[in-house]
Structure 1
Amino acid sequence: AYSRGLGASLLDMPYNGFDYSMSILLPVDRAGVESVKEKLTLEEFRKLLYNLREATVQVHLPRFKLEEEYKLKKVLPKVGIQKVFDKSQADLSGINGGRDLFVDEVVHKAVVEVNEEGSEAAAVTGVVINTRTIGGPLQFRADHPFLFFIRNTRTGDLLFMGQVNRV
């Protein structure tokens, strides 16, 4: 799908099973990823997804791997998870039968990797771009910075989102 307001095209590639998909939001302007980020809203993203049409597409994506690690000890108490961190209040007796255990830290690590095997595992099924080339499949070439999203297609929940700068 193409958004004139965002100045970007969207490619959506379902994973096997079709409960999840990866979407690539590619700015038309090679240096336009910051502009797209400023203009992008959840409503605009949903509109792009709604306007997708199934097509055969030749996709050129760079290999990339993004890893992030978050320490959650300071964040979890803000959402009401406190006692497990307190030596005097933690009750993890279900683990060892005693009351001597407490949580010292919670670490969340997220990894997204796209490579040749990942591209083969994800069946590319849909895209609409504003122009069609005569004599062959549509081309989607992510050869400059872009945004990506991984979502649950049943619920619409975004599970991951990120930005690839070096291609």
Structure 2
Amino acid sequence: MVLVNYIYFKGGCGHCLGMPFDLHDTFKSEFYLDEKRSVKVPMMTIKNLTTPYFRDEELSCTVVELKYSGNASTLFIFPDQGRMQQVEASFQPENLRKWKDSLRPRMIDDLCLPKFFISTDYSLEQVLLELGIREVFSTQADLSAITGTKDLRVSQVVHKAVLDVAETGTEAAAATRVKTNLRCGKIYSMTIYFNRPFLMIISDINTHIAVFMAKVTNPKAPFQELEIEPVCLSACLIGQ
């Protein structure tokens, strides 16, 4: 028996649905793959956005959260130039908790994020074996509720994940849009421009489980580093 798991996430932020990113504000811009190479990509943009934000000076990265109107939220982690390897190495539960606990609402004057579509697939037999799911792959498997006999076992597990982030799609982004006019005092402007590789984590708000972890290195390339949290996947497969 072949077990197939498919997960598709379409995160949309269309202004016409009361969400931050307006299709008409999207423009072509450079995305820097490294110090020498760049590609032109559609860059979504919004002005005067209030959303959870944290600046991690220790790890030299910026963290922004966009909350979707369903039960999902996304952490976008934007390392400083040359700091990607350091931030990737810090992807430990304690740092993720620190980022989540440190987020505070912050006005961002300009937030620019590339549109991207990622599709990838994995063979998960070895992953599940490492998680302790062994019997279902062996002659000891009892899947008789499917066929009426005990001569059936799982020989292959295929997982496909698709991630689509654009202006429109699912009802997304509970971040608020606030516009103010300041007549006096100092004005501290902030612009966050995702114009080089970044990381993202999509989590279920209710369970706090990360269902997607992705590294976006080239928004124009459909096959990139996209992962589903193995613990979440194993819980799904065993019906928990």
TM-score (norm 1): 0.75
Aligned alpha-carbon RMSD (Å): 2.8
User: For 1:28, which of 60, 80, 84 is the aligned residue?
Assistant: 80
Deviation, 1:100, is 4.0
What is the alpha-carbon distance in structure 1 between the residues aligned to residue 154 and residue 76 of structure 2? 38
Compared CA separation, residues 41 and 98, structure 1 to 2 (3 A): closer
What is the alpha-carbon distance in structure 2 between the residues aligned to residue 34 and residue 76 of structure 1? 27
Contact in 2 for aligned 1:8/1:36 (Cα 8 Å): yes
Deviation, 1:155, is 3.8
Normalized per residue, the structure richer in strand is: 2
Partner of 2:55: 2
Letter in 2 for 1:145: P
Structure 1 residue 59 and structure 2 residue 111: aligned? yes
Structure 1 residue 43 and structure 2 residue 99: aligned? no
What is the alpha-carbon distance in structure 1 between the residues aligned to residue 95 and residue 153 of structure 2? 44
Unaligned runs of 5+ in 1: none
User: Identity of counterpart residues, as a percentage?
Assistant: 35
Unaligned runs of 5+ in 2: 1-53, 178-186, 220-240
Deviation, 1:125, is 4.8
TM-score (norm 2): 0.55
Select the structure with the greater relative contact order (CA < 8 A; seq sep ≥ 6).
1
Partner of 1:11: 64
Compared CA separation, residues 82 and 150, structure 1 to 2 (3 A): same
**SS class of match (1:48):** helix
**SS class of match (1:6):** coil
**SS class of match (2:64):** strand
Structure 1 residue 84 and structure 2 residue 140: aligned? no
What is the alpha-carbon distance in structure 1 between the residues aligned to residue 79 and residue 128 of structure 2? 36
**SS class of match (1:121):** coil
Contact in 1 for aligned 2:198/2:215 (Cα 8 Å): yes
**SS class of match (1:34):** helix
**SS class of match (2:105):** coil
Contact in 1 for aligned 2:63/2:76 (Cα 8 Å): yes
